[in-house]
Structure 1
Amino acid sequence: MTFSIAARCAETGETGCAVSSSSICVAARCAFAGPGGAVLTQNVTNPALGPEGLALMAQGLSPQAALARLIEGEPAPQYRQLLLIDGEGRTAVYDGDNALGVVGRADGLDCVAAGNLLADAEVPRAMVSAFEQSEGPLAERLLVAMEAGLAAGGEAGAVFSAGLVVARPEASWPVVDLRVDWHDAPIAELRGLWTRYAPKLEAYVTRARQPDAAPSYGVPGDQ
């Protein structure tokens, strides 16, 4: 019931992921990114595996080693589908035996995509190809990949939620964390959110690091 991609930007070191599903609020349960890595936990979801995967990679484990540790400690691995990427662009992906419907996966340069209950097993390959051919900020490239996945058939049924998360090596919080929790066209709506958010992103980072240098937004009471 999900298709997703995890990726990194070799130029900036950013890592992030994007996801869409027929289920409500998919990004709140499935998409995680932090300094040096991103994790997607999906299918019959255990959200705890996201932060756990990030913590393992932060300790220096490769995505493959982190994945092995996650599966070893998971009491029901057959129900899980996991994607991991680290700050070096190394990836790992796991499909449990009870993954739902048509399952697909694809690895690419600095990215990995996968899904379940897909309209076509080649949907992840279309996402990877679109990501590899795209340019711009990581968030933009992730969105391009999601749009390509949707165009290739996406999930077997309609999708209603989507999310986009991007983290930087030097920031302890995701600098992009956009979610469409319920909408008839969630990926298009997510594109609209990114279009509005992108021009403000650096200003919000400045607010966190140098509040005295942060620009005014002209709201009532703002100086």
Structure 2
Amino acid sequence: MRPRALHRRVTTRLAGVGTLCPFAGEHGAVATQSLVNIELGRKGVEYLADGLAVEDALEALLNADDGAENRQLHGVDADGSFVFSGEECKPWFGGHDGSDAVAGHYTVAGNLLTGEEVIEAVADAYEEHAPQRGAESQAGTEGARESVPPADGEPTDPDGDGAAPLPDRLVEALAAGHKAGGDKREELTVQSAALVVEDTEERAFGRAYTDLRVDATETPIADLRATYELAVEGHADAMAKYEAWRMKGERATGVRTRKHRNERSE
């Protein structure tokens, strides 16, 4: 079974994090952090596409990596998740495996953080706006924020499960971690953030707001949210114009067909 969507989101006090950390494909998503090795992300997604489980794929990569103790590597697929932090990562570092939570399979990891509360805040915010599974999960729906509607004709809550759109939930999770302290290197003012969602559902048009980056800014979360909301608005406008053109074309075709039939009958 393929998941409906796979995702990575990330922010740091360095420029261009979106080019280094998040990787997603049809069968899973992987993030490489701390002392970044982009080949771990690329090969991780390839291994998942070859049919390996996420735990087997990422453990195999770490076993072959001489710098594993300086890495953070985590990922998800349709059936599970995996989180690893090497002992030589810079404190505070750590991760969270949310596979048993109501939000399904997800992971959070970070290094050079102000403390564990950052990871906890990200996980809590993500779960708060996640799809609800059963009556025992309904308590979290009252706190769900009003979210930006998806741009391809879907309602804000497309599945009727109390969930905000996935990209929206990811931005909110990053914002919660940032508010809780985030990256402790306050002397580094240039920051970046990125959002990647791999949608496995078939669509007539790809959604233009699921692969976004803010590469250099002093306000990464606010800028990523603004970029996302503007991209949603632009995608909605484009789809509305396309639908109007399509309907106009169908009406014109109908008129020509009727005229042709009338001419033949005469």
Equivalent position to 2:111, from 113, 116, 126 = 116
Max Rg structure:
2
Percent identical residues: 34
Equivalent position to 1:153, from 176, 181, 196 = 181
Equivalent residue, structure 1, for 2:58: 67
Equivalent residue, structure 2, for 1:219: none
Q: Distance in 1 between matches of 2:211 and 2:66?
A: 29
Equivalent position to 2:88, from 94, 98, 103 = 98
Between the two structures, name the one with larger relative contact order (CA 8 Å, sep ≥ 6).
1
TM-score (norm 1): 0.81
Deviations 1:100-158 (A, max 9, x none): 12112112232110100000122111111110111321111111110110111111124
Please provide the CA RMSD for this pair: 2.5
SS in 2 for 1:164: strand
Deviations 1:58-117 (A, max 9, x none): 1121111111111122221111101101134x1101111211121121122321101000
- Alignment partner of 1:15 is 2:10: no
More strand as a share of residues: 1
Contact 2:4–2:201 (Cα < 8 Å) also in 1:
no
The amino acid of 1:144's aligned partner reads E
Q: Distance in 1 between matches of 2:32 and 2:174?
A: 17
Aligned residues between the structures: 198
Equivalent position to 1:162, from 193, 202, 214 = 193
Divergent runs of 4+, >2 A: 199-204, 213-216
Q: Distance in 2 between matches of 1:70 and 1:106?
A: 20
- Alignment partner of 1:187 is 2:211: no
TM-score (norm 2): 0.68
Deviations 1:140-194 (A, max 9, x none): 11111101101111111246110000101247x8961111111000111000000
Equivalent residue, structure 1, for 2:258: none
The amino acid of 1:96's aligned partner reads G
Q: Give the gaps of 5 or more residues in structure 2.
A: 130-162, 246-266
Q: Distance in 2 between matches of 1:202 and 1:37?
A: 27
